[in-house]
Amino acid sequence: MSKVFFVATPIGNLGDFSYRAVQTLNDADVILCEDTRHSRVLLDRYGIKKPLKAYHKFNEAKTSDAVCDMAEEGKNVAVISDAGMPCISDPGYFLVRKLIERGIEYTVIPGPCAFVNAFVMSGFEAPFTFVGFLKEKQSEFKKQLESLPSTCLIFYSSVHNVNDDLKKLYAELGNRRVCVVREISKMFEEVLFFDLKDAEIQNPKGEFVLIVDAVKEQSALNSLSVEEHVNFYVKNGLTKMEAIKKTAKDRGVGKNEIYKFFID
């Protein structure tokens, strides 16, 4: 039985490819790629000429057993994504589970990962929670965010969604500091800082990582229930809506989350 290798690939600059990664791909019997045409650019740069097979989110469940079969037949299999580390918002986790289930040896060849690099560039402090892409449906998006901690949060966002995502994050998380990183290691790499309420990318291009800073100050009132928190402000002369807004700010969440509590 041979081994399956999950190999990190450059997220921008093609020079960010380790010697061990090149050697692993040269030693592989077959390379699984999200997009064989995209991967061919990198492989040609390093003179890697191996059989390529498509392995992406639309076929990973169906083909994972076949990949395991190849490993059991004595073939070394390498798995790469279009950029970065397989399994991190890219295909791969389903195959890892199959390998564990069938007792097949596997390993990771370390390398670039967009959210790790972006976190370093933000200057924010750990701990952090990596979330990935936001859900598109409103109900799924709200459910995705409602259980997140008040630590630093990291999201991926596409060029088409980045400004909408920033608005949605403000509505749900409140006004926290955000670092927006794009085109990591490429010519037009950029790091921008905003308050979420003011965050907007002019003429967005490329792929984005959004790093929302942790809630810095915790109000002593946060130890109260939401209802008690709001009623404290009402008793001190604020209107119900003003109290809801103030409570949301204290807790670092969007006012809609507090308002929804009373509707429910």
> What confidence tens digit (pLDDT) does each residue in 40-82 have?
999 999 999 999 999 998 999 889 999 999 999 999 999 999 9
What integer pLDDT is reported at residue 169 of this predicted model? 93
What integer pLDDT is reported at residue 217 of this predicted model? 60
The full length of the chain comes to 264
| CA dist., res. 73 & res. 87, Å (int) | 24
Q: Structural domain boundaries of the chain?
A: 4-112, 115-212, 220-263
What integer pLDDT is reported at residue 218 of this predicted model? 58
Neighbours of 184 (CB within 10 A): 27
What integer pLDDT is reported at residue 82 of this predicted model? 94
What integer pLDDT is reported at residue 171 of this predicted model? 86
What integer pLDDT is reported at residue 46 of this predicted model? 97
| CA dist., res. 187 & res. 190, Å (int) | 9
- Residue 84 is given by DSSP the state B
State which fold the 115-212 domain adopts: 3.30.950
What integer pLDDT is reported at residue 226 of this predicted model? 87
Spell out the alpha helix ranges (H) of the chain.
Answer: 19-27, 36-45, 60-72, 93-102, 114-122, 138-146, 162-173, 226-235, 240-251, 255-263
Amino acid at 209: V
What integer pLDDT is reported at residue 189 of this predicted model? 94
What integer pLDDT is reported at residue 264 of this predicted model? 65
What integer pLDDT is reported at residue 193 of this predicted model? 97
pTM score, whole prediction: 0.78
What integer pLDDT is reported at residue 142 of this predicted model? 82
Tokens of 65: 């057993």
| CA dist., res. 101 & res. 10, Å (int) | 30
What integer pLDDT is reported at residue 117 of this predicted model? 96
Question: What homologous superfamily does CATH list for 4-112?
Answer: Tetrapyrrole methylase, N-terminal domain (3.40.1010.10)
What integer pLDDT is reported at residue 234 of this predicted model? 82
What are the backbone dihedrals phi and psi of residue 24, each rounded to the nearest 5 degrees, phi first? -65, -45
Residues of the chain with pLDDT under 50: none
| End-to-end C-alpha distance for the chain, whole angstroms | 56
